Chains A and B, each alone.
Chain A
Amino acid sequence: MAVEAEANGMAIPASRWGLRYRLLLPLTLTLGAVLLYPLLFSFWVSLHRYQLTRLQDVRFAGLRNYLKLFEDPAFWNAILNTLTFVFGAVTLELVLGFALALLLHRLPRFRHLARAMLLTPMFVTPIAVGLMFRFLLNQQLGVLPWLLEGLGIRIDWFGPGMALFSIILIDVWQWTPFMLLLLLAGLESLPKAPFEAARIDGASAWMTFTRVTLPLMKPVLLVAIVIRGLDAFKVFEYIYAITRGGPGGSTETILFYIYKVGFRFFRMGEAAAMAYVLVAVTLALVTLLYLLMTREGRRRS
């Protein structure tokens, strides 16, 4: 605002400048206290040997907590599992959510009712979803394996090789509605003119979709992927309720690992270092995604 005012060539008396900054002060201080302080403190913790049961012996450790991570196979296993999970879950949710949104968009009647029904999984607490599926998919006691067995299919849902995929499917069950909601809103707000033009030009449905709908939806898609992706990085409840990271660490995600090291082993220094590495990884990915999508957009136009 100040910059704008200056650009317009308006002179601002010094006293009003002071007022502006003073008005900003409460917000700045509040944000500093609730955002900056915890961030800085956890950074400080990440540079120390900080164990909650050894608080009399907190020592400066430099980058040792970070360097230790590079030699920790469990940490990299967790990062890899998380990336697999995020990529798998978000891709499936995007495809399914987009398909459902396109269908709903064309639904002449009952659109609101259908949308409301499709949205329900989103409103269940994730921990309850985890517990629900733990028993639904249980080989001996669950309904799903029992039904599948009737068809002659036997899948060990939480066995090695399958467990992470099952967790992805549970996430898809719960969060596809979120994609649907966002993309449907996006579709409904698109201008009508380009579609009419395409129809007049005699474009096929597929052409209309790839050449008109997709490019117009790009900003919405980007936002949907980023929000869902960031959220998927924080997957915790399903793991906690179902596998506790097993079998053999194959579903151990980064947040579950950080929780274990920080709140069960009380090694706060190492946990804080991991959290910072996680922030760096997520930031890099989001930036990359943003660059990819905007560059492509620019090239096309």
Chain B
Amino acid sequence: MTTKTRKRYAGLLAGAALLALAPTASAVELNVIMEEVPDYDIVARLTERFEAANPDIQITFDAMPYDAMRDKILTSFLAPEATYDIIIVDNPWMDEFARAGYLASLDELVKGTDGYDYEDFVAPLRAIGEVDGKIYGVPYYNYALGLIVRQDVFDAKGIAVPTTLEDYVATIKSLTEGDFYGAAMQPQQGYKIFEEWKNWLYAMGGDLMDENGNVVIDSPEAVKALEMYIDAYNNAAPPGSLNWGFDEALRAVASGKAATMMSYNWMLPTLNNPEGPAGELAGKFQLYEVPGGKAVLGAWHWAIPANAEDREAAWKFVSWITSKEVDKERVILGGAPIRTSVMTDPEVWEKGYGERYYKTVLAILEDAEPLATGNNAEELIDIVGTELNAAVAGKKSPKQALADAARRVKAALE
């Protein structure tokens, strides 16, 4: 409503200005919904420069916690006039929002932008924003999973960081001693256990669905992956951590109680920051690809709602913040990378966190698959995440839990 009134005023003013034969620009106000995370702070800082260069566009951020976003975005879609002119879309929502017709297709805009170099975004990230052959989102930042380890612990024992899941489970079991655990796991029901376990599923060669879209979550590979996960939880993770999510696992690793965790790749700089949560342990952490190589890829994308008033202005901002030059600055400031050219840029290595880090992140991103896709991704994550947690809790056998998951996912997809 405010946008409209303001625009109306702007229109009147412009008309008056024309009459007075004095050229004035009418400012467009763009409302952007954001999640309150460090990556947002960086974007907000950079945006001041965008506004200075584009006095006719005014950006207003509405930052909020994750859990508040999904229904706010949906409400804005359904409103006769969009609350948000630019939104960020989490990976599981992309197909659902695009197929419901709530997002504007960006193909023309991407093609019409000189020097944008869309192909420079890492391929699996691009794939998330493309639905049924059309572009609906361009990457904002990645949250692919990697294996974060206490390098000093591995070095002291003279063991290599495992690259297969079998080795990983054996290693974390052997590292568990007294009050020190091989892995801080995140078996919390729902999203967290799903996100973590799916890496194990990939490592065993399984998947949620086959290429024809059949549900194969109850395959022998999946059962094996779940059995190994439970074995690891029972023998290498802190006892009583069945409801642990991101915060608890991070605290356990940061306080020196666990040797490894599967977490977002950009947690490494945070842990290695002497003023960060790890304190004296900072500098002792290292990032690797998850065992088995293929990682779960989460990503946020910029998108423009179909009911947004000024697509051109919205795209002007989105294409600016994701452009090669600005993205490079964003990554140097600590933003999670999305472009190949940025991750292979020596200047970024030097000013950022070093060559090894960006090369590892690039390797993780290149061999990664989205957390979940399809119209019912959110529901699928919840169903599978509940059954997995029940199996780890010992309420069901792994086979039974996955059979139930398969049955319920099929029912939800109908």
- Please give the residue numbers on chain A whose beta carbons come within 8 Å of chain B beta carbons, in ascending order: 52-56, 74, 134, 138-141, 145, 156-160, 163, 242-250, 252, 260, 263-266
**Shortest CB distance A60–B (Å):** 18
Whether the pair A53, B190 counts as a contact (CB closer than 8 A) is no
Whether the pair A246, B389 counts as a contact (CB closer than 8 A) is yes
Q: List 29 A-B contacts (CB under 8 A).
A: A52-B74, A53-B74, A53-B96, A53-B99, A53-B375, A54-B100, A140-B238, A140-B252, A141-B251, A156-B242, A160-B393, A243-B189, A244-B189, A244-B190, A245-B190, A246-B188, A246-B243, A246-B386, A246-B389, A247-B187, A247-B243, A248-B389, A248-B392, A250-B393, A260-B382, A263-B70, A264-B379, A265-B378, A266-B74
Instruction: Name the residue of chain B whose CB is nearest to the CB of A245.
Output: B189
Ranked 5 nearest A-B pairs via Cβ: A246-B189, A248-B390, A139-B240, A247-B393, A156-B240
Instruction: Name the residue of chain B whose CB is nearest to the CB of A264.
Output: B378
Whether the pair B240, A158 counts as a contact (CB closer than 8 A) is yes
C-alpha gap A49/B139 in the complex (Å)? 34
Known: A141-B252, A243-B189. A265 touches B376 (CB 8 A): yes
What is the number of residues of chain B that contact chain A, defined by CB distance less than 8 Å? 41
Whether the pair B238, A263 counts as a contact (CB closer than 8 A) is no
**Shortest CB distance A256–B (Å):** 11
- Please give the residue numbers on chain B whose beta carbons come within 8 Å of chain A beta carbons, in ascending order: 70-71, 74, 78, 96-97, 99-102, 187-191, 238-243, 248, 251-252, 255, 257, 375-376, 378-379, 382, 386, 389-396, 412
**Shortest CB distance B403–A (Å):** 14
Whether the pair B248, A248 counts as a contact (CB closer than 8 A) is no
For residue B102, which residues in chain A have a CB less than 8 angstroms away from its CB?
A: 53
Instruction: Name the residue of chain A whose CB is nearest to the CB of B389.
Output: A246
The interface residues of chain A, by DSSP majority, are classed as loop
C-alpha gap A163/B239 in the complex (Å)? 14
C-alpha gap A247/B61 in the complex (Å)? 37
For residue B100, which residues in chain A have a CB less than 8 angstroms away from its CB?
A: 53-55
Whether the pair A248, B189 counts as a contact (CB closer than 8 A) is yes
For residue B378, which residues in chain A have a CB less than 8 angstroms away from its CB?
A: 264-265
Instruction: Name the residue of chain B whose CB is nearest to the CB of A68.
Output: B411
Residue in B97, B239, B240, B243 with the greatest tally of chain A CB atoms within 10 Å: B243
For residue A53, which residues in chain B have a CB less than 8 angstroms away from its CB?
A: 74, 96-97, 99-100, 102, 375
Residue in B102, B252, B255, B379 with the greatest tally of chain A CB atoms within 10 Å: B379
Instruction: Name the residue of chain A whose CB is nearest to the CB of B179.
Output: A140
Known: A160-B395, A264-B378. A246 touches B190 (CB 8 A): yes
Whether the pair B78, A55 counts as a contact (CB closer than 8 A) is yes
For residue B386, which residues in chain A have a CB less than 8 angstroms away from its CB?
A: 74, 245-246, 248-249, 252
